[in-house]
Structure 1
Amino acid sequence: MIEEPGRVVALDSGAVWVETRRKSTCSGCSAKNGCGQGLMDSLGVRERRGLIRALSDLQLQVGDSVIVGIREDVLLRGAVLVYLFPLIMLMTAAATAAQFSAHEPIVILAGLGGFFVSWLFVRIRSRNAANDPKLQSVVLRAMLVGPTSP
């Protein structure tokens, strides 16, 4: 399970909306001092916040800190579907058109057509999967906050 800390910003029936901080991987790179991406990250230019809906059966309030998780296989299948599948479809359609000795503009259009078909497939699949509880992130636990001073 991949875990990410976040803060509850809204309540929904059986779920909560959680704001997470998106981080870059620059802290783990050995070349972080010599790259522009590391400089932008250290200046806070690329700091963004993400908003996700997470299933929860806990009694939470707006402002609570939580740990949100998603299964690794769900994340991996989603990444393949969104990033790799359109690329494969683009290349396959273009290669198929080139196999039939089509002119270059037709090969390009075939590649774009394959990409468009894959985009439609991904869009329909994501809409169907949006309500599947097995594919959604969940609140694993609420983080305890220390006592506040008056």
Structure 2
Amino acid sequence: MIETEAIVVKIEHDVAYVQADRKSNCSSCSQSSCGTSVLANFFARKTPLYRASNEVGAKVGDRVVVGMNESALFKGTMLLYLFPLLLLFVGAVAGSALAVTADVKDGYSVAGAFIGLATGFLGLKLFSSKMGLGRQFQPVILSRMVDMPVSVVSFAGGLKK
């Protein structure tokens, strides 16, 4: 289970909309020379809301731990990257096969690749909307942060002077 902390922003029945902080892969994003931080700031958007099953009864404003199954995340990622790419190649091969003469073979191949890629993205959009409704692919609120046990360390000898 992949877990992250989030804040509950909105509640609808047994579904909570949470906002998770975006985390960087490195700790040096404050450096101005980092190309990744420049791109992240350029494309920075409002932090997205994620829909999560609210089985713990979290309320608006609660800090929660949200989890998602690793296999579902892996399947979704593979589908997101491989499906459009596969249809791009199928479109290119089909376009090449449909070419009437050798002079237009490259043009047909490029057109077929674009058509295949567009079809892949449209198909992915339709399929992912249906797939996202499945329980396996839904993030779940695992616990509220106030429910997390706090470990207290005590010293028997006290502080030394």
TM range (shorter): 0.7 to 0.9
Name the counterpart of 2:136.
Answer: 134
Aligned residues: 142
CA contact 2:54–2:140 (8 Å) conserved in 1: yes
CA contact 2:56–2:142 (8 Å) conserved in 1: no
Name the counterpart of 2:26.
Answer: 26
* Distance change in 2, residues 1:133/1:28 (3 Å): farther
Two-structure CA RMSD over aligned residues (Å) = 2.7
- TM-superposed CA distance for 1:48, in Å, is 5.0
Name the counterpart of 1:35.
Answer: 34
CA contact 1:23–1:47 (8 Å) conserved in 2: no
Amino acid aligned to 1:77: K
Q: List gaps (5 residues or longer) in structure 2.
A: 148-161
CA distance in structure 2 between the partners assigned to 1:132 and 1:80 by the alignment: 17
Q: State percent identity of aligned pairs.
A: 29
CA distance in structure 2 between the partners assigned to 1:45 and 1:143 by the alignment: 31
CA contact 1:21–1:48 (8 Å) conserved in 2: no
Deviations 1:54-87, CA, capped at 9 Å, x for gaps: 0012222110000111111111111111122111
CA contact 2:10–2:17 (8 Å) conserved in 1: yes
* Distance change in 2, residues 1:44/1:140 (3 Å): farther
* Distance change in 2, residues 1:108/1:128 (3 Å): same
CA contact 1:94–1:111 (8 Å) conserved in 2: yes
Structure with the bigger percentage of strand:
1
- TM-score, normalization by structure 2: 0.74
* Larger Rg computed on CA atoms: 2
CA contact 2:2–2:70 (8 Å) conserved in 1: yes
- TM-superposed CA distance for 1:113, in Å, is 1.3
CA distance in structure 2 between the partners assigned to 1:113 and 1:137 by the alignment: 33
> Which stretch shows the higher mean deviation, 97-106 or 128-137?
97-106
Name the counterpart of 1:84.
Answer: 82
Deviations 1:1-51, CA, capped at 9 Å, x for gaps: 11110000011111101011112213389xx7853224666x898485221
